[in-house]
Chain A
Amino acid sequence: MKHPWRVLYQMAKADFLERVRRYSFLLILAGALYMAYAVITEKVVVVVGDGYRGVYNSAWIGMLMAICCSTFLSLCGFYVVKNAIERDSTTRVGRILAATPMPKVLYTVAKTVSNFAVLASMVLVLMAAALAMQWLRPEARPISLWQLWSPFLLIDLPVMFVAGSLALLFETLPVLRGGVGNVIYFFLWTFALTGGATTGMDDATGIHVLTTSTQQALARLDPGGKTKNFSLSIGPDHAWRTFLWNGVDWTPRLLAARLLWAATGLGLAVLASVFFHRFDPAREKIRDKKLKEKRNAVVDDPALAIEHPQPTPARATLTPLGARGQNRFTRLVLSELFLMIKGLHWWWYVVAAGLLIAEFASPTAQAREGVLLAAWIWPVLVWSQMGCRESRNATQSLIFSAERVVYRQLAALWTAGVLVALLTGAGTAFRLLTSLDWPQLAAWCAGALFIPSLALALGVWSGSSKLFEAIYTMWWYVGPLHQLPSLDFVGGSRASSSPGLYLTLAAALLLASCLGRRRQVAYA
């Protein structure tokens, strides 16, 4: 192929421009800016050792922002960019590209570069925000651009490249292409953050470079103190002492490790080309075909159905319809429920049933604090279809031209989502009911209403299942799993549960869903 670099540049550029002009990019950008604001206003703090924080000089601010970037953006950003191939497939641009001499590896590398460019642009925004932050908060002067920005350049950019290449690799693998991949990435991300890494090649996120450096600086200042502690906290967990930290000493070994991670990203992009289907419909639909063969042993080729046409009726007539049924809403709820669970594998039901039995069988406390958590993360991919199924499958024009669609269909969909929560959490509700634990039962009810409301609102407003999958999984991990007060929507313990808050939130989200759907339907 002639001029591969030009092709690479143009492909990455077109893809980048197409993405940054979408609302989802602005949404994440707004999130990144809020993160910067949270750092500036000390809503997000890093506490080292026994209540220490660094003096807000260039090094500390750069480190703080870079850590936030490396943790949150590597998670949210992954979900934002994990649609490069999918978009080419749905817009059918992919088939045009597939008919050109472009090698597969060039395509996957170009898409990875585009993924990286999108994430890097957010990093750039945060770099500017870091500069503004030090200017706004004159705790330590002067501003050193190297100390301020080196963590972004050497920690965050390789992380973004790896996240971008992983997003592409996931898209090329049929198993990881959908929601399963989204959930698996979350756990991979959690492991990368919390796994016992050192400052070597096992430190994917680069955070341990920063933690080690700050802990060493603190150990020199306070040799006898507890210096091993390093926590990134959200909320009121503030430091009460300061120490001076002048940044990471970037040794050749550290630089090599970061560069190796960038090279790993490139390797993943090349690996993705092995699995990339090049928009071959036969390969794109292998899974569908297998399913089809299983369900339809007799007719397994579309052509066969056309070869045996039925005789044309002498004159087409339609028998008159009866009066509209009285139980139309119930029927619609059941239809929405059926649509939600249709296509799930048998093992999904086995696990859900197992969890339900475990809820019934466990003592109340264990059911509430443990099994219910699993039971309410398991249907994440069922809930995540809510509100965005129409845009994902391009059925808006069919659905939105129906009568009273905004409130009737949306209410039916929400009810179906609540039913999923009620059914999967029924065991815990039974335990709470039999132990007459009314406050916890109220928390359970609030959770059951809150989760589908969140799914519906995010689905309607984003038009994608990914936003809910990312936010809900992260929220579940931070809130219910760690029983963090005010973030625990499940109500794992009395101290952490806030049913009133989540009932209010559920109502607000439901209202937001209605407003979002009204925006989508011309005559709402």
Chain B
Amino acid sequence: MKLTIDRVSKRYGANTLALQDFSLDLGSGILGLLGPNGAGKTTLMSILATITKPTSGTIQWNGTDLAADPNAIRSVLGYLPQDFGVYPNLNAVEFLEYLAAVKGLDSASARRRIDELLNLVNLTDVRKRPLGGYSGGMRQRIGIAQALLNDPKLLIVDEPTAGLDPEERVRFRNLLSDLSGDRIVILSTHIVSDVEATATDIALIAQGRLVAHAAPEELLRAVEGKVWEWVVPSSELNAARQQFLISNTSRRGDGVHVRLLASQPPPGTTSVAPTLEDAYLFCLSQHRAGAAA
């Protein structure tokens, strides 16, 4: 099972380049696609899901070119878009039955699968309620269920935890980890903790370019010895912000505990273990500095 993205670019209009020469090779596991807003994550997801064509470059699924045979990927694809709608008059079962028919599942398999999925996404109790009456989180869970209908080998989920309460978010992370065994899962998000909890690989994307592709441990190693904690009075916080790349602040009795990234530590700081959020911010800042230079 292999997904190859080779020098893919996508241009919108004359001036907007959403993706630039993006290349990536993926095998089974969960790829966390991280990047700031407007980095090109959703564009990449849409291209992989055959919703949008790239302006240039190729995508291959197990050696088959997506442009030559898009159905090769569609038949194994589960896709949860960032923004999607539902048919408000249908209930959860009817909606999933409809999508199962569109995806070519037979009735018996579809019925069995729908029962399983509604249980997995915790919607069994409200299965007969029209979707028009669902809350945002419930609707998101229906989206997750439909993505899994056809037992996808390639699962693309774009901001899947948006709108989910903390309990459901944890539930979804676990579900994704459990299902990732023999699939390629691409999880696009800007919530670093979601990636931290699930991803086996991370791709950082900014301004349409691949900034880094590595295992979480490798990214963490890159910032080892560069993360510091500094206690400053509230009045000096703004000055600290100007001076350093700050990944977190928390106010306590002795002042503001500032978590900062720097190669050379300022006086009075103590070294702390890096998190993935630190690594993410460090990589982005390096990329921005490189782009500015």
Contact = CB atoms under 8 A, between A and B. Distances in A.
Contacts of B132: 285, 288, 291-292
A401 B84 contact: no
A522 interface: yes
B85 A395 contact: yes
Interface stretch (A316-324, A436-444, A470-478): A316-324
Contacts of B254: none
A328 B168 CA distance: 34
B79 A321 contact: no
Contacts of B98: 335, 338-339
Interface residues of A, number: 57
Given A309-B167, A403-B75, A523-B67, A395 B174 contact: no
A499 B246 CA distance: 75
A96 interface: no
Nearest to A398: B84
Contact of B102 (A303, A320, A335): A335
20 contacts: A289-B133, A291-B130, A291-B133, A305-B126, A306-B135, A306-B138, A310-B124, A316-B179, A324-B104, A325-B105, A325-B106, A328-B106, A389-B87, A396-B51, A398-B81, A401-B74, A402-B102, A403-B75, A404-B74, A409-B102
Given A338-B94, A401-B49, 9 more contacts: A306-B135, A316-B174, A318-B148, A319-B116, A321-B151, A331-B106, A389-B87, A402-B103, A403-B75
B130 A305 contact: no
Contacts of B125: 299, 305, 308, 310
Q: Determine chain A's interface SS by DSSP, over half rule.
A: loop
A400 interface: yes
B105 A394 contact: no
Interface of A: 285, 288-289, 291-292, 295-296, 299, 302-303, 305-306, 308-310, 312-313, 315-328, 331-332, 334-335, 338-339, 342-343, 389, 393-405, 408-409, 522-523
Given A299-B129, A316-B179, A322-B108, A339 B90 contact: yes
Contacts, number: 173
Highest count of chain A CB atoms <10 Å: which of B102, B132, B148: B102
B8 to A, nearest CB: 13
Nearest to A396: B51
B270 interface: no
B89 interface: yes
Contacts of A319: 112-113, 116
B120 A322 contact: no
Contacts of B86: 393, 395
A334 B94 CA distance: 12
Contacts of B112: 319
B99 interface: yes
A400 to B, nearest CB: 6
A62 to B, nearest CB: 42
B77 interface: yes
